[in-house]
Structure 1
Amino acid sequence: MTDADIDVVHQFVDNALDYLRQTPIMRGPQELIPLEMQEDAEEDEEGNVPWKAIPSTVTAADIEELESRLNLRYPALYKQFLGYQHFWELLPVDGITFFRHSIREWKKGLLDHYFGYPESASLVAKGYIPFADYFDWGVVYFDTNHQNQPDKDCPVVMLDHELFYDEPLPMKMLYPSFAAMMHSLVAQQGNPKPPED
């Protein structure tokens, strides 16, 4: 992991938030958006309020706790991602939508993705850490079976929801590493692909 990689992670989040700020969709249900993340504005007729990103409160101890529960290690660059900003949502780029990273609920949300279903717990036991959705039909994982040293970066793979029970697992390689993925996503933010039909 280089300083340039860290800058790209920050740039990705900043670009995504800048884009959302220019749209009317940076809103969520008032009862679900943490108070610290609510903009000072009235709720709309549907009960939604504008939300804002805030600096992450994730600590090294939080990361160690999650890694201990997983019995796996995150890529160092993903730790930088978690430690940068809390957000309610980011729009997908290249079909990849990062899991919600809301203050107070972020850890529970990740644990639900890891262990909330027998299928997800089974994949974690096989070395796959989920961190994003793929379109509306797949999940994106870190393949920790192929981590490098010392930064633990690894291939980013995807599994279709419908194929959880296939053996061997039909994982599709998306990127050779999380760093490569983030560089590619930032490039696509500046040059978006047309939506797929």
Structure 2
Amino acid sequence: MNSIKDAKHELLQLMDDNNVAGFVDVAVREGSKRLPHMNLKAHRMILMLLRVGDLITYDHMVKILRPLGLTGAGHYLMWVIWLTGPIEGIMAARLMGASRASVSGIAITLEKDGLISKVPSPSDGRVTLLTLTEEGKTKIEQAMMQISDSAGLVLEGLTEEESTILLTLLEKFSAATVSKSRLRAL
């Protein structure tokens, strides 16, 4: 039991020190004690991706999206609309990998906030399209610029060659992940 207590204190200290790699190393070390046949390299890689992803997501939520009055889901739907132009809710849900009901709920909130509006389709009056309002367009573009600036700061720690290699590896990794995924659709 002492080992678990020691690991807990070590993990807490590593979190306080913002030491992601150290945190992952301890997690893998402790996991391998309990599951000795675990694929340590794969486990370490997944934990690193998840921890870094969580840190970036949290940072964007706290420093960018919340001050703009956005949620992660609201930002995502607005981004899809920004990319595609007016779009049916069912198509937005498909692009987001979300349920139609979920997108409907997000759209209701964004519409109340004046960031999107629902308009009839010019080709079929029975169909409603989600579209950004001027305020919504301004807000999503502010968020995207701030996220871009934030990503630029993160990349400052890498050389141009390293950032190219990282992007190439992430692209390969995403292709492998999608091909092996049980979900297979984004």
Instruction: Tell me if both proteins adopt one fold, taking TM over 0.5 as the criterion.
Output: no
Q: Which has the larger radius of gyration?
A: 2
TM-score relative to the length of structure 1: 0.24
More helix by share: 2
TM-score relative to the length of structure 2: 0.25
